[in-house]
Every structure is written in C-alpha cells, then in structure tokens.
C-alpha cells in the first residue's frame, strides 16, 4: 500500500503540471526544436511508439527514462541510424552503466544530417553566389534511473539542445522525467508508464546572421547594422500515459501488447498502439499504429509501423540487432537500424 501511495503522489504531481506544459485548442506549429520529436530505437518505432510502459534497457532513454533501471548486465552500448524524411539522416549513440546501490547512468548523443543548403540573402535571394551551409542539430543527454522498489522505477534525462543554421544558432536545456510500475495490481505482465518530455525554458535564435544593414535618415551617416530580435519558442513538451501487458503462452512464446495516449503543446492528442511477438526471447516481430482522431488523415504524417529483431548470446556478450519501418505520408518511409551490445 505504501508503494502504491508513493506512485499516486508522483502521478498527481505530473498531472498538476499537465495544463502548464501541454495545452489545448489549435496547437499545431507552436513548438520548436522539432529534433526532439524524432524517435530513437527500432523496437519502440516498430511498435507504433507505444512502448512507454514496456521500454527497458538502453533503448528506453528516449521513450521512458525510468525503464533504464531495468538494464541487463553492467554496461550496454547502442548505435542507431534512421533514414528520416526528405533524405535527412539521424545518427544516435548511447552508453549506459549500472552502478550497484546507486542506479544507472547513461550518456547519449543524437545528430541530424541534413546536407548542404544554398545561402540566400536579401541581396541574393536566389543563392546565385553558390555559397552553402550545413545545418547542425545535436541533442546530448545525461540520464539517471533507479528502482525505488521491485516494481517501481523512476528516471530523469537532461538534454542539451543545440541548433546551428549558418550564422544563427540556438541552444537550450530540456528535461524528461518518467515513472514505470511493473506487476500492477499483482498481475504478472501488467505495467503502466508515465512520462513528461521536453520540459524546459524557451529557446531563441541569435548570432551574426541576425544583423541587417539598414539605411538611416541622416545622409551624412553611413548605413548601420541592426540586430533583428528573433521570437522565443517553446520546446515541444508532452505528457504521455502508457499501459502494457505481456502474455506468456509457454516458455518460448510471448506476446507484448502496449498502448499510449499523448497530450502535447504542439499538435493534437495522439494515440499509439503496438504489439511484439517473441520466440525464445531471441526472435521478435513487431507491429504498430499511431493516429490522431482530431486531425484529418491528410494532415497526419505517420500511421502503420513494423519491424523485427534478434538477440544473440556471444559467450556472455548480448548482441541485439533491430530494424523498423514507419510509413510517412508524402515522403518515403522511415527505415531504422540499431545495434546494441550488453556486457
């Protein structure tokens, strides 16, 4: 009873801040730093991003940092590549270590490869000079997670966000906090997860690219540079509530079901459903679907997802290879590959 009461206090605290960070009404396009929304990890993507309550190990850093407390072994590393929309590449790497009696710490880095873009100015709007720049978008994270009890784990991620677009740049700090409760109501396989993501102060662009040459009324004075003050923008904050259930048919066959509700400050509410079939805890097939009932189908980018994975024990080193595909309306689908090693 004491543990349940503790969880309810945590849930209540998160719900009280929901209205502050996740609004209602027409919210489309009101959040910036969209790189934070690009998912990481083929398992979660293949399950329709519905694995909030079933995420565990190093992949859980993005989905629910509380799941990192369930890290198998002492150390784990993960490398991932995503072929995102519009030929954008997303690279990700993470390392996590379990410190006995303290918890699990992890470092992660996500970068976007956008390619080169022509430099355009007010005097050269068509970019005839041929000058180019390469946008850089990075997210570096530090995650701490630990088990409070055998059933309850919590986690916190601090993300340093940087975006550089030619001569302008912006940086900020965002936090993800999550709670995971396993064996809910003494039902084996039943779990719930709660997370608030991308909570932090507003960001703002600045730099030499915000300087413009302006004329002055006094003809005896030369034109002066004026700094354009860019508008501040919010991080794409969200509140997510997930549930999961794992059914064991026998020692070799298992079916994991999961669902997530997401409320946010940048778009309409989203619902996500996913399933994973596992054989001998070695081979996995996954399917998912995500949708937003308040948006017309033409305005929602994603939908069906699928993927597979395999675990191999290499003399005590656990090798995991995962793949996911996500449908993307108007673009080629997303392909995601990941390699994980556990020691």
Report, in angstroms and rounded to the nearest whole number, the Rg of the chain calculated over CA atoms. 22
Nearest of 244, 255, 258, 239 to residue 192 by alpha carbon:
244
Q: Where are the beta strands (DSSP E) in the chain?
A: 75-83, 89-99, 103-113, 117-118, 132-133, 136-147, 152-165, 168-182, 190-199, 211-214, 224-227, 238-248, 253-264, 270-279, 283-291, 302-314, 317-328, 334-342
Hey, what are 253's tokens?
């066959």
pLDDT value at residue 30: 58
CATH of domain 2-204+236-342: 2.40.160.40
The DSSP 8-state label assigned to residue 332 in this structure reads P
Burial label, 73 (beta-carbon count in 10 A; 0-12, 13-18, 19+): middle
How many angstroms separate the CA atoms of 182 and 169, rounded? 42
Q: What is the pTM of this model?
A: 0.88
pLDDT tens per residue across all 343 residues of the chain? 454 445 444 444 444 444 444 444 455 555 689 999 999 999 999 999 999 999 999 999 999 999 999 998 999 999 999 999 988 999 999 999 999 999 999 999 999 988 888 888 777 888 888 888 889 999 999 999 999 999 999 999 999 999 998 889 999 999 999 999 999 989 999 999 999 999 999 999 999 888 877 766 666 667 777 888 889 999 999 999 999 999 999 999 999 999 999 999 988 999 999 999 999 999 999 999 999 998 877 778 889 999 999 999 999 999 999 999 999 998 999 999 999 999 9
Residues 6+ apart with CB under 8 A from 167: 207, 208, 209
Cβ(288)–Cβ(50) under 8 Å?
yes
Domain ranges of the chain: 2-204+236-342
The DSSP 8-state label assigned to residue 188 in this structure reads T
Nearest of 262, 272, 268 to residue 304 by alpha carbon:
272
pLDDT value at residue 120: 81
pLDDT value at residue 218: 61
């Amino acid at each position: 009873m004491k543990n349940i009461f503790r969880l309810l206090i945590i849930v209540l605290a998160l719900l009280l801040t929901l209205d502050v960070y996740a609004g209602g009404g027409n919210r489309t396009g009101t959040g910036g730093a969209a790189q934070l929304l690009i998912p990481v990890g083929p398992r979660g993507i293949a399950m329709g991003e519905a694995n909030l309550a079933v995420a565990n190990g190093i992949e859980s850093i993005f989905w629910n940092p509380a799941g990192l407390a369930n890290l198998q072994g002492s150390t784990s590393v993960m490398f991932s590549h995503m072929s995102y929309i519009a030929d954008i590449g997303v690279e990700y790497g993470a390392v996590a270590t379990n410190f006995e009696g303290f918890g699990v710490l992890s470092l992660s880095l996500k970068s976007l490869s956008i390619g080169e873009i022509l430099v355009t100015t007010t005097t050269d709007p068509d970019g005839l000079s041929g000058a180019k720049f390469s946008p850089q978008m990075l997210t570096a994270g530090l995650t701490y997670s630990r088990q409070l009890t055998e059933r309850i784990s919590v986690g916190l991620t601090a993300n340093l966000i940087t975006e550089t677009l030619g001569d302008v740049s912006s940086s900020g700090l965002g936090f993800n906090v999550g709670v995971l409760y396993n064996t809910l109501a003494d039902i084996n396989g039943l779990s719930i997860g709660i997370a608030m993501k991308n909570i932090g102060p507003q960001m703002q662009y600045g730099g030499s690219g915000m300087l413009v040459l302006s004329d002055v009324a006094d003809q005896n004075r030369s034109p002066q540079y004026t700094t354009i003050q860019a508008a501040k923008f919010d991080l794409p904050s969200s509140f997510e509530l997930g549930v999961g259930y794992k059914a064991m048919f026998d020692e070799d066959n298992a079916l994991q079901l999961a669902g997530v509700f997401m409320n946010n400050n940048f778009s309409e509410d989203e619902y996500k459903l996913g399933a994973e079939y596992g054989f001998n805890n070695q081979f996995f097939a996954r399917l998912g679907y995500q949708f937003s009932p308040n948006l017309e189908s033409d305005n929602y980018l994603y939908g069906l997802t699928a993927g597979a994975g395999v675990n191999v024990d290499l003399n005590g080193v656990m090798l995991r290879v995962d793949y996911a595909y996500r449908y993307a309306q108007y673009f080629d689908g997303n392909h995601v590959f990941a390699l994980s090693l556990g020691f």
